[in-house]
Amino acid sequence: MKFRTLKAVRFATHTDKNLRRAIKNIFGFRPGNIYLYRLAFTHKSASQDTIKNLRVNNERLEFLGDAILDAVAADFLFRTFPARDEGFLTEMRSKLVSRAQLNKLSQRMGIDNLILLENSNSGVFRSFKGDAFEALIGAIYLDKGFTFTQKIILKKIIGHYIDMDELVTQEVNFKSKVIEWAQKEKKQSAFNVLEEIGTGYKKQYLVELVVEGQPLARGQDYSIKGAEQNASEKAWQKINGDSLEKA
């Protein structure tokens, strides 16, 4: 089985010296517990070691980092837009921490260069850059604490890489729009997983969006979230089309 990083093969072994230097170059600080950072860059496809029969990878850190990002983003937006309502703040948080946004940030900051993943069929791992980004935030939190991590997110990430004016005008994700529309129209909506296609890392999910008990659109992707977004985009086009026809 072959493994790779996107550009810098030397990081594939997660040499502590090189990894410390990379973190210092990206964020301006030196890691304390280097193991956390090595773990943050280990994709599930590259899991080799086990602890109590569990594969060791960055998924647990990703879960933690996701929660930290949400909390910091919510606090930042609450203070930045004191006159805007809950709907606007929810929309902005969704844009700020979306998978597409985190994938882009990972690439712009050079975080993607450090990710260890299986070389074969790596094209199916569409979200691995954003996943590693979240895992890295989780690692920083465990290593340095919440206050330090918050400063890194605000100053080194949002302050340096995010154009808030541009983000305000950016189209919100389609799933949020569909859910908001259904709530406004007092319609019951749900996403149902119809089928799991393939096995292992090639597995895809077929999801159907149902509104008032009637199927509205289907989407397929390598993650359930991605499939829901695909279905939502198709549904939003139908909703807008119906609105235009009635106008």
Known catalytic residues are: 66, 134
Q: Considering just the CA atoms, what is the radius of gyration of the chain in Å?
A: 20
> Please, is 209 exposed, middle or buried when counting C-beta atoms within 10 Å of its C-beta (0-12, 13-18, 19+)?
buried
Q: Of 244, 204, 194, whose CA–CA distance to 226 is shortest?
A: 204
3-state secondary structure 42-82: ECHHHCCCEECCEECCCHHHHHHHHHHHHHHHHHHHHHHCC
Distances (CA, A) of 214 to 35, 163, 205, 208, 242: 49, 40, 20, 10, 15
The one-letter code for the residue type at 56 is V
Cα(103)–Cα(106) distance, integer angstroms: 5
Q: What are 49's two structure tokens?
A: 């070691």
Residue 216 near residue 235 (C-beta atoms within 8 A): yes
